[in-house]
Structure 1
Amino acid sequence: MRIPARLSTTTSVLLAAALVWPLAACSGEEEVTDELQVVGNPTAATPQPSPETTTAPEGVVIGLDGGVTALTTAPGDGTVAVAVTDPARVLLYARDALGEPDPDPTVVELPGPVEHLTVADDEVLAPVPSENTLARITLDGDVRLVPVTGEPSGAATVDDRTLLSLRERKGVGVLDDGRTDPVIAGGLNSADDVVVADGRPLVLDRLRSAVFQVDIEGQDVGVGLRAGQGATNMVADDYGRVFVTDTRSGAVLAFSADPLLLRQLYPVAGGVYGMAYDSGRDVLWVTLTARNEVVGFDVRGGEPVERYRYPTVRQPDSVTVDSKTARVVVGSATGEGIQVITP
């Protein structure tokens, strides 16, 4: 694991405003509450709505029918996967095709909309929560649908095992021969995404606005930390950290995975939401939906340093980056297509 130049918290004033507190996990299927929960019936934060665009988007815009709900890039050949609605499908673009004026993607039809896309080896993992299905899509466009009970919402891999966050079952399932067995639960109100940082799985609970460790071997949800007032998305970097967007408070939070500690809190105005990490340059890309912008932060030091800022298509809920070429792709959730930016 590479060590950043300086991995520390920001000022004590910012930490006091973070509203990040340790949360204890508990067993059972009941709704979880704690003394720091500010409302009795919490709701998950959603992206801030975007105004009409007044500035031309940077780079090239490729029109699509339907709204973009998720993006990811295969680190090997640079294939870009785009999840689109109306109808639900995933579009696969070759790395070189995005430089063409009217690229022709491979189209993979799906039974329902997708919230997250993850690349695992030569496959794109596309959970379909509404249909209790995991779509395993090869980079050539072949698809295999795997039934998964519990409303799968996100996917990750660790030690050749596929992990699925299961929103309805409030836990993380280990996919084995088409079954999510076991399901690791306890202490969660919702399981909305799962990532792996430095070999440690972590699950995001949007209802509780918190991040929790997951012990696969011990089959236990471990320690958790409150992630602001409205955590929405998370992504891991190469330093063993997990970045979380706190959309309600307007901040990007960085946690170390083991031990789970808040390391950075950086206020960002404009409706932070989607994120992508460029491992080749240590740049974290963050979309600002209330401003129709995407910002690139250098995250090698003690706090993010802004390096790039570009106008985007309307409602830029999703973003991905090709770590080989640095090319950024932003997706519009309101039907304005995808935007290709070369910093």
Structure 2
Amino acid sequence: MRRSAVVAMPVACALLVAGCSSDTGKGDDELQIVNNPVAATAAVSPAPAVTPAGTVLASPAVTAMAADAASRTLAVAVDQPPAVLLYRLDEQGAQPVRVAVPGAVEQLSFGAGQVLASIPGRGTVASVPVGGGQAGELGVPGQPADAVAAGADTLVAVRDRKAVEVYQGGKLVKTITGGLYSADEVVHSGDHTVVLDRLRTAVFTVDVPGGAIGEGLRAGDGATNAVADSYGRVLVTDTRAGALLAFSMDPLLLRQMYPVPGGVYGIAYDAQRSMAWVTLTERNEVVGFDVRGGEPVEKYRFPTVRQPNSVTVDARTGKVYVGSATGEGVQVIQP
């Protein structure tokens, strides 16, 4: 039987720091233990050995996905050429609405009747109306890797400038820096905001009103993706070590570290069922964990399309959507 390591760590110099040097060498920074760190990436998938579960919709290579239960919309970012495909969640067989965007999308999120599409290669965040139509553009100097709506604010993680920026009405109102090597993903839940730093393989709290990066905590050996759950935590995939990590956000503490071998990478959360879905790219699988208890409990495991880098879930129906990064389609699974 696999066992989790359930941890409650006090603030300690070796693991929890604030305002450290933003150098990318190790130096005297005990949070980052690797010289010249390199961000972890998804493990390369083999050819599928079994037929993917559920239904597979034809699609170009998928770079990001997000589902919105309120608007009944599934957004799928594809390349060749770059676009966001908008599917009706209740009309699975219908053709999606295609909205062109100016470059490859890294992350998608929903907010205020639109889809935010982060395009780091073009220094922009595209805003796509959920009903289709021409995408707007928010110019962000540098490499905007992720963007989320937070009330009247749009929070943008800017990778190369190691910052979280705050926009209101399309205008920059605040740049928050300090202690980051890279800003790769921003997670906002309630009054709390956390930024994921893939180079340092760490998570940091963000004091948005105060304009400061707060304490940071190491997130395994190669953190790649993160999502908020319903219990005041941020769940993180540690791709290098093969683990699912759970951090409380107030205070920032590592609460759970559960082994998930097989190249864990993508992650999505179903708030209605307290279910975290993670993809295993080494195995072409997606696994559903009930995370409401003291450790994750595996409830589902399905074979997927090749290179399942992206996953999202419709919280109303529980359907899981998996995107192939090699162009083998969008998979729809009803657990």
Conservation of the 8 A alpha-carbon contact between 1:32 and 1:187: no
Q: Tell me how far apart the structure 2 counterparts of residues 278 and 36 of structure 1 sit (CA, whole Å).
A: 31
Conservation of the 8 A alpha-carbon contact between 1:148 and 1:178: no
Instruction: State the partner residue of 1:141.
Output: 132
1:70 partnered with 2:64? yes
Instruction: State the partner residue of 2:80.
Output: 86
Conservation of the 8 A alpha-carbon contact between 2:18 and 2:213: no
**Residue 262 (structure 1) aligned to one of 254, 275, 279:** 254
Conservation of the 8 A alpha-carbon contact between 1:148 and 1:179: no
1:24 partnered with 2:18? yes
Go from structure 1 to structure 2 and tell me whether the alpha carbon gap of 1:131 and 1:209 turns closer, same or farther (over 3 Å shift): same
Cα distance, 1:36 vs structure 2:
4.5
Q: Tell me how far apart the structure 1 counterparts of residues 17 and 235 of structure 2 sit (CA, whole Å).
A: 18
Matches within 5 A, 1:147-162: 147-162=139-154
Q: Percentage identity across aligned positions?
A: 54
Q: Tell me how far apart the structure 2 counterparts of residues 219 and 275 of structure 1 sit (CA, whole Å).
A: 28
Gaps of 5+ in 1: 1-8
**Residue 173 (structure 1) aligned to one of 165, 188, 198:** 165
Report SS of the residue matched to 1:335: coil
Please tell me the residue identity of whatever aligns with 2:89. Answer: R
**Residue 112 (structure 1) aligned to one of 103, 108, 112:** 103
Residues 215-256 of structure 1: CA deviation (Å, up to 9, x unaligned):
111111000000001000000011111000000000000001
Q: Tell me how far apart the structure 2 counterparts of residues 36 and 138 of structure 1 sit (CA, whole Å).
A: 41
Gaps of 5+ in 2: none
Residues 27-81 of structure 1: CA deviation (Å, up to 9, x unaligned):
7x6547413433221000000110010100000001113x101100012032000
Instruction: State the partner residue of 1:4.
Output: none
Report SS of the residue matched to 2:121: helix
Q: Judge which range, 235-244 or 192-201, deviates more.
A: 192-201
**Residue 129 (structure 1) aligned to one of 117, 120, 127:** 120
Q: Tell me how far apart the structure 2 counterparts of residues 157 and 238 of structure 1 sit (CA, whole Å).
A: 18
Please tell me the residue identity of whatever aligns with 2:108. Answer: L
Instruction: State the partner residue of 2:218.
Output: 226
1:290 partnered with 2:285? no
Q: Tell me how far apart the structure 2 counterparts of residues 147 and 339 of structure 1 sit (CA, whole Å).
A: 33
Conservation of the 8 A alpha-carbon contact between 1:190 and 1:205: yes
Report SS of the residue matched to 1:130: helix
Computed over aligned residues only, the root mean square deviation of the Cα atoms, in angstroms, reads 1.7
TM-score (norm 2): 0.93
Q: Tell me how far apart the structure 2 counterparts of residues 215 and 38 of structure 1 sit (CA, whole Å).
A: 25
Instruction: State the partner residue of 1:306.
Output: 298
Please tell me the residue identity of whatever aligns with 1:44. Answer: A
Report SS of the residue matched to 1:117: strand
Q: Tell me how far apart the structure 2 counterparts of residues 327 and 243 of structure 1 sit (CA, whole Å).
A: 20
Q: Tell me how far apart the structure 2 counterparts of residues 304 and 200 of structure 1 sit (CA, whole Å).
A: 23
Conservation of the 8 A alpha-carbon contact between 2:24 and 2:37: no
TM-score (norm 1): 0.91
Q: Tell me how far apart the structure 1 counterparts of residues 210 and 245 of structure 2 sit (CA, whole Å).
A: 27
Aligned residues: 325
Please tell me the residue identity of whatever aligns with 2:273. Answer: R
Cα distance, 1:116 vs structure 2:
0.7
